Amino acid sequence: MSYEPNFIPLKKRALNIVVSIVLLAYGGYGVYINDLFIPGKRSSGIHLHDNPAFMMYISFICAALVMISVIIDHYDKRDNEAKYKWFARVFEHVGGILFILAFIWQIIINT
């Protein structure tokens, strides 16, 4: 049985690059001005400051790493998709935990 590497469509690769850049730029600017605004779906959103903003930015970095790993996986022709899936899973969990902790920390600071 021959191995066939992953194929990720150009549209998805381009979208991953653009979203990664936007996340990193938006989060970096928010940390720089010490006011990282996270819009809400059913609320007016929340402004994160200091450590919670930095923690949220790290979660943005995790998301960008996951999206970039998809692109790298497309160009890597070796049979190691399991490693990329493991990498993505780890950084999805780390990013998700940091995302939630940033909100909790900001709420605790404001009470």
102 and 52 Cβ atoms separated by less than 8 Å = yes
pLDDT of residue 110: 76
DSSP 80: -
Q: Which amino acid is at 79?
A: D
In tens digits, the chain (111 residues) has pLDDT values of 666 777 878 899 899 999 999 999 999 999 999 999 999 888 899 999 999 999 999 999 999 999 999 888 888 788 888 888 999 999 999 999 999 999 999 989 876
Looking at residue 57, what is its pLDDT?
A: 97
Q: The pTM is what?
A: 0.89
Q: Show me where the domains of the chain are located.
A: 10-110
